[in-house]
Amino acid sequence: MPERVKVSWTVDIHRSASEVFDYLADFSRHSEWSPSAFRTEGLGPGPVTAGTTFVSYGAVPGDKQHRNDVKVDEVQRPSRLAFTATEPNGDVFVNVFTITGQDGSCRVERTWDLPKPNGLMGAVFPLLLRAYVRPHVQKGLDKLKSTLESA
């Protein structure tokens, strides 16, 4: 089995865990807080359930219409939402949102579990992760916070 890497980010949002969870569970709204172009196909509005499948397209370096086949694996309102995104090459990225609420606010932790790249990409991956991926994903979470707190 290929080696894997886990990466996580957090943001505190001044909204209830239920409000934040319901917003995150509506993947048709993810484009509202994505730091780059994002869209879905095969998905209606509203919250998803475990087993829901759809296709997402997002911008990654070198591919502005990067496709992923997505399957929602776990929906535990209001605390946990997990899904897998399968790349065109078959690589699987596990995505988990964990929401911990307290006194009308909550902390959102986003975790990725992804295959560790091999070869040259494996050598530069730590730099790419630090310089591009981490700030990019954090920008999205910061935008999520801003979107929800201004609603």
**pLDDT for the residue 1:** 63
- Cα distances (Å, whole numbers) of residue 144 to 37, 89, 112: 14, 29, 17
Q: Which long-range contacts (CB under 8 A, 24 or more apart) does 88-92 make?
A: 91/115
- Cα distances (Å, whole numbers) of residue 49 to 12, 27, 36, 73, 74: 25, 11, 25, 8, 8
**pLDDT for the residue 64:** 86
Block mean pLDDT (10 aa), the chain, length 151: 90 97 95 92 88 92 89 98 96 97 94 93 90 94 97 83
The strand pairing partners of 7, in sequence order, are: 112
**pLDDT for the residue 44:** 79
**pLDDT for the residue 97:** 98
Q: Longest Cα pair distance anywhere in the chain, in angstroms?
A: 47
- Cα distances (Å, whole numbers) of residue 54 to 5, 89, 105, 124, 142: 25, 17, 30, 31, 25
CA 69 vs. chain centroid, Å, equals 13
- CB atoms inside a 10 Å sphere around CB 15: 19
**pLDDT for the residue 138:** 96
Give the H/E segment covering residue 147.
helix 134-150
* Architecture (CATH level 2) of domain 4-150: 2-Layer Sandwich (3.30)
* Peptide linkage before 78 cis (omega within 30 of 0): yes
**Cβ atoms of 46 and 149 closer than 8 Å:** no
CA dist., res. 144 & res. 100, Å (int): 16
